[in-house]
Chain A
Amino acid sequence: MLGAGSRAMAADARVLKINTLASASAVNVPLQSALRSGLGEIAGFAPAEMRPTAKIPQIAQEVIAGAADMGDADIASTLAAAEAGADLKIIGLSYNNTDQVIVSNADKTKSLADIADRGGTIAVNSIGDFMYVMVLGALAKQGIDPQKVNFIEMGSSGDRARALLAGRVDAVPMHIEQAEQIKARGNYQVLVTPWKEYDDWFSAVIMATSGWLKADENKKAAVAVLKASLTAFRKTDSDYAWYKTQVGKYASSKDLKAADDTLLKPVWQQLTGEIKAFSDMEQLNPDAFAKIMPVYKQAGALKGTLDLGKVIDRTYLEQALKELA
Chain B
Amino acid sequence: MQLGRLTTNILGIVLVLILWQAVGMHLGDALVATPVQVAKALPETLTDPEFWPALGLMIGQMMIGYLLALAVGIPLGIAMGRSRPVFTVVKPWASMFIVVSAAALVPLLIILMGRGLLFRTCIVFVATLWYVVVSITEAARAVSPRLLDVAKSFSASDFQRFRFVILPALYPYLLIAARIGLIHALRAMVTAEMFIGAGFGGLLNNAGLDLSTAPLFGLIVVLMLVSAGATELLRRVAGRAAPWYASRTGG
Min CB gap A63→B, angstroms? 10
Chain A hits for B114, CB < 8 A = 67
Interface size class of A (residues with CB under 8 A): 20 to 34
Q: Are B205 and A51 in contact (CB under 8 A)?
A: no
Q: Is A87 an interface residue (CB 8 A)?
A: no
A62–B113 CA distance with the chains assembled, in angstroms: 11
Identify which of A51, A161, A185, A254 contacts B206 (C-beta below 8 A). Answer: A254
Determine the residue in chain B with the shortest Cβ distance to A158. Answer: B209
Most buried by B among A54, A67, A178: A54
A54 and B209: CB pair below 8 A? no
Distance of A54 from chain B, by nearest CB (Å): 5
Q: Indicate if the CB atoms of A185 and B194 lie closer than 8 Å.
A: no
Q: Which residues of A have CB within 8 Å of B206?
A: 23, 252-254
Q: Are B215 and A51 in contact (CB under 8 A)?
A: no
Q: Which residues in chain B, 193-239, are within 8 Å of chain A measured between CB atoms?
A: 194-198, 202, 205-213, 215
Q: How far is the CB of A134 from chain B (nearest CB, A)?
A: 20
Q: Contact at A62–B111, with CB atoms within 8 Å?
A: yes
B161 at the interface (CB under 8 A from A): no
Interface residues of A in 7-60 (CB under 8 A from B): 22-23, 25, 51-55, 58
Q: Does B27 contact A (CB under 8 A)?
A: yes
Q: From A52, which residue of chain B is reached at the shortest CB distance?
A: B197
Q: In the bound complex, how far is the Cα of B27 from the Cα of A162, in angstroms?
A: 11
**Is A218's CB within 8 Å of the partner chain B?**
no
Would A58 and B107 be within 8 Å (CB), given that A162-B211, A255-B210 are in contact?
A: yes
Query: Interface range on chain B: under 10, 10 to 19, 20 to 34, or 35 or more?
Result: 20 to 34
Residues of B within 8 A of A2 (CB): none
Assess whether B28 is interfacial by the CB under 8 Å rule: yes
In this assembly, does B30 line the interface, its C-beta being within 8 Å of a C-beta of chain A? yes
How far, in angstroms, from A271 to B27 measured CA to CA in the complex?
A: 33
User: Which residues from A are CB-within-8-Å of B150?
Assistant: none
- Cα–Cα, bound, A99→B186 (Å): 37
* A191 adjacent to chain B (CB < 8 Å): no
Select from chain A the residue with minimum beta-carbon distance to B31: A166
Task: Determine whether B72 belongs to the interface, using a CB cutoff of 8 Å to chain A.
Answer: no
Contact indicator B205/A252 (Cβ below 8 Å): yes
Chain B residue, CB-CB nearest to A167 = B31
- In the complex, the answer to whether A51 meets B211 with C-beta atoms within 8 Å is no
Question: Contacts A22-B197, A67-B111 given: A161-B205 contact, CB under 8 Å?
Answer: no
Say whether A210 faces chain B, with CB atoms less than 8 Å apart: no
Residue pair A162, B31 in contact (C-beta under 8 Å): yes
Instruction: Answer whether A52 and B210 are a contact pair too, CB < 8 Å, given A67-B111, A185-B30.
Output: no
On whether the beta carbons of B209 and A53 are closer than 8 Å, the reply is no
Q: How far is the CA of A255 from the CA of B210 in the complex (A)?
A: 6
Q: Which of A23, A55, A58, A255 contacts B211 (CB 8 A)?
A: A255
| B115 sits at the interface (CB 8 A) | yes
Contacts of A185 in B (CB 8 A): 28, 30, 211
Q: How far is the CB of B251 from chain A (nearest CB, A)?
A: 39
A55:B111 contact, CB within 8 angstroms = no
Q: Answer whether residue B64 sits at the interface, using C-beta atoms and an 8 A cutoff.
A: no
What are the residues of chain B within 8 A of A166 when measuring CB–CB?
A: 27, 30-31
Q: Which residues of B contact A254 (CB under 8 A)?
A: 206-207, 210, 215
Q: How far is the CB of A100 from chain B (nearest CB, A)?
A: 14
Q: Report which residue of B196, B206, B215 has the largest number of chain A beta carbons within 10 angstroms of its beta carbon.
A: B206
Q: With the chains together, A55 CA to B205 CA distance in Å?
A: 12
Shortest distance from the beta carbon of B23 to any chain A beta carbon, whole Å:
12
Kindly provide the distance from the CB of A165 to the nearest chain B CB, expressed in whole angstroms. 5
Given the complex, which residues of B lie within 8 Å of A255, measured CB to CB? 209-212
B111 touches A61 (CB 8 A): yes
Task: Tell me, in angstroms, the Cα distance from A156 to B114 when the chains sit together.
Answer: 23
Residues of chain A lying within 8 A (CB to CB) of residue B31:
162, 165-166
Task: For the complex, give the distance between the alpha carbons of A185 and B30 in Å.
Answer: 9
**Which residues on the B side are within 8 Å of A25 (C-beta)?**
209
Chain B's closest residue to A163 (CB) is: B31
From A62, A165, A253, B210 is in contact (CB under 8 Å) with A253
Contact B209 A156 (CB under 8 A): yes
Is A215 positioned at the interface, with any CB of B under 8 Å from its CB?
A: no
Give the CA-CA distance A181 to B210 in the complex, in Å: 10
Within the complex, which residue of A52, A156, A181, A182 is in contact with B208, where a contact is CB–CB below 8 Å?
A156
Give chain B residues whose Cβ lies under 8 Å from the Cβ of A51. 115, 196
Q: A52-B198, A254-B215 are in contact. List 19 more A-B contacts (CB 8 A).
A: A22-B202, A25-B209, A51-B115, A58-B110, A62-B111, A65-B111, A156-B208, A157-B209, A158-B209, A158-B211, A162-B30, A165-B30, A166-B31, A181-B211, A253-B206, A254-B206, A255-B209, A255-B211, A256-B209
